[in-house]
Structure 1
Amino acid sequence: MIELKSPAEIERMGVTGAFVGQVLAELAKVAEPGVNLLDLEHRTRDLIKARGAQSCYWDYAPDFGNGPFRNVICLSVNDAVLHGLPHDYVLGDGDVLTMDMAVSIDGWVADAARTVIVGTPADEDVRLVRATEEALDAGIAAAHEGNRLGDVSAAIQAVADRYGYPVNTEFGGHGLGRTMHEDPHVPNRGRAGRGLKLRAGMTLALEPWFARTTDRIVFDPDGWTIRSADGSRTAHSEHTIAITEDGPKVLTLQS
């Protein structure tokens, strides 16, 4: 079931989204060589507590994963791309770090992800991150009232195809609002003109993610961390958006 949000409710989601964007921007500035992932986790906990927000990840227990998630942010390094468990790992020069978080403020959720390169960037990693960012922009640009969900998916896929990156469809974007995951599922590959018609009031998390040389994934023994099956590096970009009569509105902008 898809719940359409009123303009006032979208504004409330925007308050949450602004906070999520602010936290990711702050973490991006401090993610330097020598920083431990656990430091980023605890910094995020402090920011969430100070804002009076609630993490959507804490105690999250889907059908995958070993028990409930007991962190407030996903931190995935290099060939890890989704659901990375914060752990005792010191970032090194050239690491590719994906940060993904979702919180609720006053009952309204926003979700976003950002990939940064720690220290000295390699050209091929810059290209990969840029591809996910461009794919996200393309997906947002296609998210107009009256278009189809397949238009969004096809726009994301077109960028991946142009860069030559394969696309996995097991994990993608999703609806959200009062909870972190709502209908519909938003694949990162699709056919234009197909699927659900987009309507004003729909709120979606669009999240293109690519691995450099594979569309296959594997899970770590922790049951959470998802990696590229061939060990190639990965990147992930995500925004929460709202479909409005005036066009798509990004709710999780980052500075």
Structure 2
Amino acid sequence: MGWGDRGVQIKTPEQIDVMRKAGLVVGRTLQLLRESVRPGITTGELDAIAEDSIRSAGATPSFKGYSHPPFPASICASVNDEVVHGIPGERVLAEGDIISIDCGAIVDGWHGDAATTVAVGEVPHDVRELMRVTEEALWHGIAAARLGGRVTDISHAVESHVRSQPHPTGGSYGILEEYVGHGIGSEMHQPPNVPNYGRPGRGPKLVRGLALAVEPMITLASNETTLLPDEWTVGTVDGSWAAHFEHTFTLTPEGAWVLTALDGGEERLQQLGVPFGGH
């Protein structure tokens, strides 16, 4: 997709308020799933919990039936060396695994989209560090967004934070380049793309009414990926483990507002010295 402004959807404040409702459904569902992850539970059981949570809130799962082949579940559940788009099923989580859970919900035609990576019990230090770096990179990306800035200001901030962090084994983290964040609104995926790497000052302007899903996908080694035979699950070529965090956010005249964070992102943004623009 090109860097032009064509196709970029600008929402009214009222439409953003509906996206906040969808974002809260996603945020509460992910909170419930984090609490539900344990050794012995299956990814399919997590999916059932998610679908019940979304539908009980009067929302519709964004993912179910999406694209071709139609995605068969309400969450993506990607374990260990699976980066994104894992299909939930009979896989049993074990002590020491990590699982990326990606969740989307629709309220009155407007979408929310977020993801988190959860440790199953105790995990090795290098994996814990991978999760920390990836989540921090997400927040640094959001914190770099300003009205009048450009999309790749976010990209540059994500990459800069990842590159600044020491690797536990002396190597370097892999930043996925084929899979990126995106615009979001009346569709789950819209222009513009939001890469997790690159030089600042490029791409469409960051303006009021633009909503973006920022989602760093980081590995412990190579960033090369492969598509598994199910035509959805994306895994690492070298088998290195991966983490994935995502939030949907927008900018108001007051600052950033993270629509899928239960507190609107206020705590994390304040820690980074960034104005909070929610209400």
TM-score (norm 2): 0.87
Match of 2:154 among 152, 155, 163: 152
In structure 2, distance between residues paired with 1:38 and 1:93: 17
Give the structure 1 partner of residue 203 of structure 2: 195
Give the structure 2 partner of residue 115 of structure 1: 117
Question: Displacement, 1:59?
Answer: 1.2
Match of 2:47 among 41, 44, 47: 41
Question: Displacement, 1:52?
Answer: 1.9
Q: Deviations over 1:128-158 (max 9, x none)?
A: 0111111111110011101111111000001
1:225 and 2:233 are equivalent in the alignment: yes
3-state SS of paired residue (2:27) = helix
In structure 2, distance between residues paired with 1:74 and 1:4: 27
On the 8 A contact 2:25/2:59 being kept in 1, the answer is no
Amino acid corresponding to residue 48 of structure 2 in structure 1 = H
3-state SS of paired residue (1:147) = coil
Q: Deviations over 1:33-60 (max 9, x none)?
A: 1111111011112112212211111111
Match of 1:83 among 82, 85, 96: 85
In structure 2, distance between residues paired with 1:242 and 1:99: 22
On the 8 A contact 1:144/1:244 being kept in 2, the answer is no
Q: Deviations over 1:59-98 (max 9, x none)?
A: 1115xxxx21111100000000110000101110010100
Q: Whose relative contact order is higher, 1 or 2, with alpha carbons under 8 Å and at least 6 apart?
A: 1
Q: How many residues align?
A: 251
Q: Percent identity?
A: 41
Cα RMSD of the aligned pairs, angstroms, is: 1.1
Question: Displacement, 1:3?
Answer: 1.5
Give the structure 2 partner of residue 246 of structure 1: 254
Amino acid corresponding to residue 165 of structure 1 in structure 2 = Y
Segments of structure 1 that go 5 or more residues without pairing to the other structure are none
3-state SS of paired residue (2:63) = coil
Match of 1:165 among 173, 176, 180: 173
In structure 1, distance between residues paired with 2:42 and 2:202: 44
Question: Displacement, 1:254?
Answer: 4.5
In structure 2, distance between residues paired with 1:81 and 1:25: 20
3-state SS of paired residue (2:96) = coil
Give the structure 2 partner of residue 21 of structure 1: 27
